[in-house]
């Protein structure tokens, strides 16, 4: 146990002896943060619920709402989106509205929009960002929060395939605000998002130029090791798309070493998944399977439902290439599909169902495959009830 955790536990005991419940609540928050950082979400949730009881006992509605927000964060990361959304709409927002806490209302509206984005309900998310969240930040004259919200709005346009509007927002709304604030980091992030659009357009030279000349040097000057590693990973993505797999692999392996030194298990797992993808393209299926499996194990520990769904699907693809369709089918049915249903991600559900149907045909079960194609919703319901 780390010294910080030990000291917090000692502090909690002292507050319990003295009867100082508010100070105990503050200490519980620091302890919950430690568990969340480790990915120990069950323990973090238990602590937030203990803190919640304290604020309820004190009759502190504002602090109770803040704690409910942290509880919703955990449900959201677990993929329990209905409960997270219920908390945001019923136990957070009304309290902040009653307290006339404009900033907290804006933050909560953004969190609600984030859940709709995860579900793929982009129209609802866009409306909330544009009509409810952004006006509140404008009312507060918060330039930074407006810039961040404009970035989120651009994200939605990108997901809808409206890259022209997304690029316009990045260049005309988001970037100028960060320049006005003289925020070098914010500008670098915005430039990286502009590079993302050029990359989607296939304008790889411009995307690479931005990464190398306008993003990476800023993070290096700021001595931001993590952001440098992330940017190098994005550079590796471009090399991979261009077919320069050796260079892409070299950079990803260097990136993995950085995250290992930082002790960041989550980013290590994410990078391992990217390395596995390169091995997969090179036909090194055993290495790809090993790294996907290690990455999945960590994401399961982190209770990252979306990453687990993606990695399960990738493992199924590798197993298919290794001519192990029965195992691939089992993973799709027992892992990838239930997780995608839990996320309510329609696009991903459709992709997994398509893969299941193809595997069934390959296994000589064409009638079952035809039934899925005829009534996919029934198949999903049947799988969910098992």
Among residues 264, 266, 234, 226, the alpha carbon closest in space to that of 252 is found at: 234
Q: Which tens digits make up the pLDDT trace of 296-319? A: 999 998 889 999 999 999 999 999
- Residue with the bigger pLDDT between 1 and 320: it is 320
Lowest average pLDDT, out of 86-95, 145-154, 348-357, 375-384, goes to 375-384
pLDDT of residue 204 exceeding 50:
yes
The per-residue pLDDT of the chain, averaged, comes to 94
Confidence at residue 229, expressed as pLDDT on a 0 to 100 scale: 95
Q: Which tens digits make up the pLDDT trace of 16-68? A: 899 999 999 999 999 999 998 888 899 999 999 999 999 999 999 999 999 99
Segment 319-333 shows an average pLDDT of 96
Write the CATH number for 363. Answer: 1.25.40.10
Confidence at residue 44, expressed as pLDDT on a 0 to 100 scale: 95
Lowest average pLDDT, out of 64-73, 216-225, 336-345, goes to 336-345
- Cβ burial of 373 (10 Å; 0-12, 13-18, 19+) is exposed
Q: Are 21 and 58 in contact (CB under 8 A)?
A: yes
Give the domain range for residue 380.
Answer: 304-386
Q: Which tens digits make up the pLDDT trace of 222-232? A: 999 999 999 99
Query: CA dist 89 to 55, 64, 96, 288, Å?
Result: 19, 14, 11, 42
Question: Does 195 reside within a domain?
Answer: no
C-alpha torsion sign, points 327, 318, 270, 71? negative
Segment 140-153 shows an average pLDDT of 97
Lowest average pLDDT, out of 45-59, 177-191, 366-380, goes to 366-380
| In 101-159, alpha helices (H) | 102-119, 122-128, 134-139, 143-159
Q: Are 303 and 326 in contact (CB under 8 A)?
A: no
Question: Does 353 reside within a domain?
Answer: yes
Q: Which tens digits make up the pLDDT trace of 285-296? A: 999 999 999 999
Q: Name the helix (H) or strand (E) containing 92.
A: none
Distance between CA atoms of 115 and 373, rounded to whole angstroms?
A: 29
Question: Does 334 reside within a domain?
Answer: yes
Confidence at residue 339, expressed as pLDDT on a 0 to 100 scale: 92
Question: Does 381 reside within a domain?
Answer: yes
pLDDT of residue 70 exceeding 80:
yes
Confidence at residue 319, expressed as pLDDT on a 0 to 100 scale: 97
**Residue 5: which residues within 8 A CB-CB, separation 6 or more?**
31, 34
Confidence at residue 385, expressed as pLDDT on a 0 to 100 scale: 65
pLDDT of residue 384 exceeding 80:
no
Question: Does 338 reside within a domain?
Answer: yes
Confidence at residue 1, expressed as pLDDT on a 0 to 100 scale: 45
Confidence at residue 187, expressed as pLDDT on a 0 to 100 scale: 97
Per-residue confidence band for 252, with pLDDT thresholds at 50, 70 and 90: very high
Question: Does 358 reside within a domain?
Answer: yes
Q: Are 157 and 199 in contact (CB under 8 A)?
A: no
Question: Does 333 reside within a domain?
Answer: yes
B/e letters for 262-281, b = 16+ CB within 10 Å, e = fewer, are: eebbbbbbbbbbbbbbbbbe
Q: How many structural domains does the chain have?
A: 1
pLDDT of residue 3 exceeding 70:
no
Per-residue confidence band for 218, with pLDDT thresholds at 50, 70 and 90: very high
């Amino acid at each position: 146990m780390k010294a910080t955790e030990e000291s917090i536990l000692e502090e909690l005991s002292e507050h319990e002896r003295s009867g100082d419940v508010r100070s105990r609540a503050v200490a519980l928050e620091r302890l919950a943060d430690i568990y969340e950082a480790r990915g120990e979400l069950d323990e973090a949730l238990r602590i937030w619920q203990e803190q919640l009881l304290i604020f309820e006992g004190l009759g502190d509605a504002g602090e109770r709402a803040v704690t409910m927000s942290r509880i919703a964060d955990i449900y959201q990361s677990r993929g329990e989106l209905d409960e997270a959304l219920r908390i945001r709409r019923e136990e957070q927002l009304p309290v902040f509205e009653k307290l006339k806490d404009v900033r907290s209302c804006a933050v909560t509206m953004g969190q609600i929009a984030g859940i709709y984005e995860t579900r793929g309900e982009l129209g609802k998310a866009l409306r909330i960002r544009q009509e409810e969240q952004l006006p509140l930040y404008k009312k507060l004259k918060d330039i930074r929060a407006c810039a961040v919200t404009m970035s989120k709005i651009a994200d939605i346009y990108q997901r809808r395939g409206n890259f022209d509007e997304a690029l316009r927002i990045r260049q005309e709304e988001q970037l100028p605000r960060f320049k006005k604030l003289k925020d070098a980091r914010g500008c670098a992030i915005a430039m990286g998002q502009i590079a993302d659009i050029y990359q989607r357009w296939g304008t790889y030279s411009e995307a690479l130029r931005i990464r190398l000349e306008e993003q990476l040097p800023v993070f290096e000057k700021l001595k931001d090791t993590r952001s440098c590693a992330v940017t190098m990973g994005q550079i590796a993505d471009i090399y991979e798309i261009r077919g320069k797999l050796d260079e892409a692999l070299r950079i990803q392996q260097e990136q993995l070493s950085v995250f290992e030194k930082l002790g960041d298990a989550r980013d290590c797992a994410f990078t391992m998944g990217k390395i596995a993808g390169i091995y997969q393209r090179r036909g090194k299926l055993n290495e790809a399977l090993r790294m996907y499996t290690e990455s999945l194990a960590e994401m399961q520990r982190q209770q990252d439902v979306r990453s687990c769904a993606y990695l399960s699907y990738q493992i199924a693809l590798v197993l298919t290439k290794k001519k192990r369709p029965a195992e691939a089918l089992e993973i799709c049915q027992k892992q990838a599909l239930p997780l995608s249903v839990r996320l309510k991600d329609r696009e991903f559900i459709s992709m997994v169902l398509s893969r299941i149907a193809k595997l069934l045909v390959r296994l000589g079960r064409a009638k079952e495959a035809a039934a899925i194609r005829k009534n996919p919703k029934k198949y999903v319901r049947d799988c969910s009830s098992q």
